[in-house]
Homo-oligomer: A and B are copies of this chain.
Amino acid sequence: MNRTSGELARHLGANLEGDANLLLSGVASPEQARAADLIYVDSPRHGARAESSAAMCVIAPPRMRLRAKTIIESSEPKLAFAKAAAWLLPRATPAPGIHPSAIVAPAAQVSGSACIGPHVVIEDSAVIGEKSVVQAFCFIGARSRVGAGCWLHPRVTLYAGSRLGNRVELHSGVVIGGDGFGYVFGEGRHWKFPQVGEIEIGDDVEIGSNTAMDRGSLGLTRVGSGTKIDNLVQVAHNVQIGEHSIIVSQTGISGSCTLGNRVIVGGQAGLGERCHIEDGAIVGGQSGVLPDKKVRSGQIVWGTPCRPLDRFRKQFAWLERLPELAARLRRLESGPLKEDRDCS
């Protein structure tokens, strides 16, 4: 579906300088673009890259001009580019219907506009909303609820009773609603603490490949709307994550942690049990947050155990200079004493 540069500028509410009738068929990086691909530059530093691109149309900061290019002006070119891509390249939705190899329990409710792929299993009383896509090998446990406009890539598991909002996208290998990891030791063995709670994922959440999210033990595991979770992340039982937060790959979030809205957690971070990350806080990659720790709103922390970033940097700078500090100490220990001797 080709669109013109003028239509795109109108869609973005942006000013256009140049030819409003260029056909646009895709998006690309400046180096790989063909004439009909849209590209963007967000700083004059990259002007030469854009000018030497085959692309005819560029999203660029206001008043930036590029030789022989049509410019769509935006004060946030990368944001405008993301919006433009979603508009130029709407995802092709497969035709509605249930593949004959899928096994759908009689009491499941599948919307007539949903697309259920080959070898899917949908158990009793599960609900699949309008226009949702459930690809091959997905397992939708009993009483689960998949909202409207969701996309479950191949090989997603929803344990019984899991609930997804609308427009949720789950990548291949995601497991939602597994048993939490809780035991009580007694009489020489581990007794399983009951894992009978629930899990609820809000609207517009995206979850990366092979991520595992456990349902609550007695309570609820919950992810707020607009939050994005990367690949291979662990979310334990009873975790509460707010809205529009970002959890980068391989991070582990222990039981009963709460994360606020617009929180960012870097890759491979580890959050101890019951820790509390307030709105807008940032936990650096590979950081370790001790159990019960609170990270205040807007704070940036790093390291294990995590500290405010400034403090970490200062400590780390001295750690780097420790061999030198030790040498200075040794000099003091020998030097002044000698001088003392001299002066006596």
Contact = CB atoms under 8 A, between A and B. Distances in A.
Nearest to A285: B270
A196 B315 contact: no
A48 interface: no
A252 B272 contact: no
Contacts of A29: 218-219
Question: Chain copies in the assembly?
Answer: 3
B154 A172 contact: no
A85 to B, nearest CB: 4
A136 B136 contact: no
A125 interface: no
Contact of A173 (B175, B183, B236): B175
B155 A137 contact: yes
Contacts of A106: none
A78 B178 contact: no
Given A29-B219, A184-B79, A192-B82, A231 B328 contact: no
A288 B286 CA distance: 7
Contacts of A188: 244
Interface in A260-309: 267-268, 270, 272, 285-286, 288, 303-305, 307
B184 A175 contact: no
A230 B333 CA distance: 51
A228 B183 CA distance: 9
A186 B196 CA distance: 38
A116 interface: no
A342 B178 CA distance: 73
A43 interface: no
13 contacts: A81-B193, A82-B183, A85-B194, A135-B139, A173-B212, A175-B210, A189-B204, A190-B228, A212-B232, A252-B268, A318-B322, A318-B325, A340-B340
